[in-house]
Structure 1
Amino acid sequence: MLWPWSSPAQLIALRSPDLLLRLPQIGDYPAWSGLRKASRPFLKPFEPRWTEADLAHSVFATRVKRARQEAEDGTDYSFLIFNLANGSETLVGGVTLSNIRRRAAQFVNLGYWMGQQFAGQGLMTKAVALTLPFVFESCDLHRIHAAFLPGNIASRRVLEKNGFIEEGFAAGYLQIDGRWEDHVLFGLTRERYELRRHGRKA
């Protein structure tokens, strides 16, 4: 694992034997656009509205530039997820740590997406687990927040398996596919993370 203060933003990477999480690079465009396009019907009910135009190379190039700048500023980290099985690096989805707040708050928001063909294999549970040391140890934050649509059982399971607990409900919380949708709010504190890391019941 490479810490944010010791490496250029483009080199920040989180790695396990199974997965690699890193910032996007221009060379990722074919795999990214192909996976997003193929998974659009699967992702559409869970994401803000987007069109074919959002898959353009120029749009992705802007994403790459913005991701690098935000990482250098320490405000957001937009990671792509690569499965390392069989010695390859296969793009399977993405994890975003956004809206980092310091001073009295010390929190970050967690978001993620998974390509349809890779869903249900436990990869997102492992990817979220890989971000937690980065959040609490590298970035030295105190809380991580996540929200999901009430019917999204898969997302609930990903968070529960990583120690998150339900903290509330927000009406009209995020605009999803053109509509303001209610969300279930989950959170994980540093204290709970430390208890789990040391094998103690949270």
Structure 2
Amino acid sequence: MRLSSGTSPVVTLRPLARSDVHAWRSARQRNAAWLLPWDATVPPGSTTRATTFRALVRRLRHQAGRGTTYPFAVDVDGRFAGQLTVNNIVRGSAQFASIGYWLDRDVAGRGVMPRAVGMAIDHCFTTAGLHRIEIAIRPENSNSLRVVEKLGIREVGYAPQFLHIDGAWRDHRIYAVTVEECPGGMVARLEAGE
């Protein structure tokens, strides 16, 4: 599946692939210091080890096959620029998922991530049949807070010590949107606000 915007820059969501290995590593290395405060880390005492990109893709594809994760590469003007993952997909009476993402600093501030998140939400609500999407953001992460602000996604709660990030358990603000809140689609809502 490919989802693409027709605006400049052209933002495309596509399945994360093994062939992204070099671009992914290069982006992660170039952006290591910029991403460090926001990257999940392994808590002390955990038996989970850091993983290679190939192992990451294999795990995400396995989860996608089970319907619990949708791992996307974010391309900007045809070039790999980041990753967006729809995860923790719950079916049954919940029809819920959460979204996490990271972006190459070189393309930040150009409206890329709001558009990518909007396209992912539209996919989740239409094609995947989900009802609610959540995004958890550290209170200090002004760039991600701007993403939900541009999309008009409302804050629904606060989660103390929610995720282990940058070596400690970190608080997060929780944002959520339901399909009823954007009947015309999230991308259309974003474009109407621009």
Normalised-by-shorter TM-score class: 0.7 to 0.9
Q: Deviations over 1:1-32 (max 9, x none)?
A: xxxxxxxxxxx222223122112222211111
Q: Give the alignment's TM-score, normalised by structure 1.
A: 0.82
Q: Give the alignment's TM-score, normalised by structure 2.
A: 0.85
CA contact (8 A) 1:31 1:91 kept: yes
Q: Which residue of 2 aligns with 1:8?
A: none
Q: Which residue of 2 aligns with 1:3?
A: none
Of 25, 32, 37, which residue of structure 2 is paired with 1:40? 32
Q: Deviations over 1:165-184 (max 9, x none)?
A: 01111110111111001111
Moved more, 15-24 or 188-197: 188-197
Q: Distance in 2 between matches of 1:70 and 1:138?
A: 18
Q: Deviations over 1:41-64 (max 9, x none)?
A: 0000011138xx958xxx111222
Q: Kindly report the root-mean-square deviation, in angstroms, between the aligned alpha carbons of the 2 structures.
A: 2.1
Q: How many residues align?
A: 180
Is the counterpart of residue 100 in structure 1 residue 89 in structure 2? yes
Q: Which residue of 2 aligns with 1:155?
A: 144
Moved more, 149-158 or 35-44: 149-158
CA contact (8 A) 2:122 2:185 kept: no
Q: Distance in 2 between matches of 1:151 and 1:175?
A: 15
Q: Which residue of 1 aligns with 2:57?
A: 64
Q: Distance in 2 between matches of 1:54 and 1:32?
A: 16
5+ residue gaps, structure 2, are: 43-48
Q: Percent identity?
A: 34
CA contact (8 A) 2:159 2:174 kept: yes
Q: Distance in 2 between matches of 1:13 and 1:196?
A: 17
5+ residue gaps, structure 1, are: 1-11
Q: Which residue of 2 aligns with 1:112?
A: 101
Q: Distance in 2 between matches of 1:119 and 1:15?
A: 18
Is the counterpart of residue 49 in structure 1 residue 38 in structure 2? no
Q: Deviations over 1:144-194 (max 9, x none)?
A: 001111121221121122231011111101111110011111000111021
Of 13, 20, 27, which residue of structure 2 is paired with 1:21? 13
| Cα displacement (A) at 1:196 | 6.1
Q: Which residue of 2 aligns with 1:4?
A: none
Moved more, 115-124 or 97-106: 115-124
Instruction: Tell me the amino acid that sits aligned with residue 68 of structure 2.
Output: T
After superposition, where does 1:68-147 map in structure 2 within 5 Å?
Answer: 68-84=61-77, 89-147=78-136
After superposition, where does 1:5-16 map in structure 2 within 5 Å?
Answer: 12-16=1-5
CA contact (8 A) 1:163 1:196 kept: no
Go from structure 1 to structure 2 and tell me whether the alpha carbon gap of 1:29 and 1:163 turns closer, same or farther (over 3 Å shift): same
Q: Which residue of 2 aligns with 1:30?
A: 22
